[in-house]
Amino acid sequence: MDTQSIKQRFGIIGNSPLLNRAIDTASQVAPTDMSVLITGESGSGKEVFSHIIHQLSARKHGTFIAVNCGAIPEGTIDSELFGHEKGSFTGAHEARKGYFEVANGGTIFLDEVAELPLGTQARLLRVLESGEYLRVGSSKVQKTDVRIIAATNVDVYRSVTKGKFREDLYYRLNTVPLRIPPLRERKDDIFLLFRKFVSDFSNKYRSPGIQLDTDAVQILSNYSWPGNVRQLKNIAEQICVLEKDRNVSAQALLNYIPNEQSNNLPVAVGGSTKEDFSERDILYKVLFDMKKDMVELKKLVAEIIQNGGNTAHIMADNPQFINQLYQDVALNGHSEPTLTIKHPTANSPVDYNYAHDAEEVEESLSLIDKESDLIKKALKKHKGKRKFAAQELGISERTLYRKIKELNL
């Protein structure tokens, strides 16, 4: 069966190359009995592909059972999958067949397979390798002939590295990997799907059709759709029921689409986090603060010149900067500066110099010294509270603690 025939039979809409590739892979693996691991985001249509594989296989006349592994409590999952004997646990008033017994000769679709407990994973591995299992409370080996199709919306290999998923089971399930593309990677299909959904809902609720203007179509295509096809279908239904104006504008459409704050922000290459850039950030902050202080100092000197050396009102207008200037000097262990200004006359220019008891100290240009001074000021400002000092510096508390140890503060 070709790709277009499969789309028509299973109601799949779209012409994305990624989607077509997934359909081709499903149709090729379907006639075999190989295990398939379907990966994809929530709402992207993983269960539809499990039906494609089952219906195009030799097991199509057998039983198909879909199991949501994340919805079954850990204490009963073994009983659901493998069955139990009468009296095997409290409440087991009679023997019960499990899914592997009921679906013998057919297919079991294990959705959210990464949610299975480790004990159940070991039993599932035995079924995949030998076709054997034990009912809960029984020592008699049962045989079954079931094809397993698993699906998950998480990175299973990462779960393997964290010890939450068995590595041997991962490779046994992942005989044929099948990735379903998210809706944001199928931009040309979004409007096609939306038109299909509004048509269906208009017929269902006997309401007039919906039309989108050009800007609304653009918004529809550019949205990231974290809920994928399921979310798009939900919004189409809302618009069909709630929207009075059947010609939907971009502004009207935005009332139904959740606001996105940071989906289009650039992502750090290689998975870097804020912590990776903390040292660079603090150095940038030091340099920017130095530049700001120099600008403020230039403005202050210019005002003194314009006012003929009268600094009283300038001290009143800039108390925060003057106080910070004195704090910086005191923090470096120097006495407070005394600024003497000779008033200009017709024959003499303005002369600025420090008082005779002030010692001129050459400013350190070391970034380490500046970093140390900045940390000291932040700690002093927040009375030694590292949490608030770290927030002031724009770094994490852990980085601040490490810097304090490195700089022997």
Residue 200's CATH number:
1.10.8.60
pLDDT tens series, the chain, 409 aa: 789 999 999 999 999 999 999 999 999 999 999 999 999 999 999 999 999 999 999 999 999 999 999 999 988 999 999 999 998 888 888 999 999 999 999 999 999 999 999 999 999 999 999 999 999 999 999 999 999 999 999 999 999 999 999 999 999 999 999 999 999 999 999 999 999 999 999 999 998 989 999 999 999 999 999 999 999 999 999 999 998 888 999 999 999 998 765 444 444 434 444 444 445 556 656 666 676 677 777 777 777 766 665 555 555 555 555 555 555 544 444 444 444 444 444 454 444 444 444 444 455 556 667 778 888 888 888 888 888 887 878 788 777 777 787 777 7
Q: Which of 181, 200, 226 is the last residue of a domain?
A: 181
> In this structure, are 16 and 165 located in the same domain?
yes
Asked if 168 and 192 sit in the same domain, the reply is no
> Can you give the pLDDT at residue 85?
92
- Looking at 127, 159, 181, the residue that finishes a domain is 181
82 within 8 A of 133, measured Cβ to Cβ: yes
**Same domain assignment for residues 248 and 396:** no
pLDDT value at position 393?
80
Please tell me the distance from the alpha carbon of residue 27 to that of residue 88, in angstroms, as a whole number: 42
13 with 120, same domain: the answer is: yes
pLDDT score of 317 = 57
In angstroms, rounded to a whole number, what is the distance separating the alpha carbons of residues 137 and 140? 9
Query: For residue 107, what are the domain limits?
Result: 3-181
Query: In this structure, is residue 45 part of a structural domain?
Result: yes
Same domain, 55 and 123: yes
State which amino acid sits at residue 169: L
Tell whether 266 is covered by a domain.
no
Q: Please choose, from the candidates 33, 135, 34, 151, the residue with its C-alpha nearest in 3D space to the C-alpha of residue 81.
A: 135
Q: How far is CA 280 from the centre of its chain?
A: 24
pLDDT of residue 372: 81
Confidence (pLDDT) at 355: 43
Clarify whether residues 318 and 238 are in a common domain: no
Helix axes 3-10, 46-55, angle to 10 degrees: 110
Domain shared by 296 and 371, yes or no? yes
Q: Which of 181, 207, 226 is the last residue of a domain?
A: 181
In a shared domain, residues 279 and 327: yes
One domain, residues 27 and 106: yes
* CATH number of the domain where residue 72 is located: 3.40.50.300
Structural domains in the chain (count)? 3
Instruction: Please count the residues of the chain.
Output: 409
264 within a domain of the structure (yes/no): no
The pLDDT value given to residue 8: 93
- Segment (H or E) for 46: helix 46-55
Residues 103 and 247 in one domain: no
Residue at 262 is within a domain: no
In a domain? residue 96: yes
Eight-class DSSP state of 136: B
Dihedral sign (CA 145, 151, 157, 160): negative
231 in the same domain as 245? yes
pLDDT at 281: 57
Same domain for 57 and 157?
Answer: yes
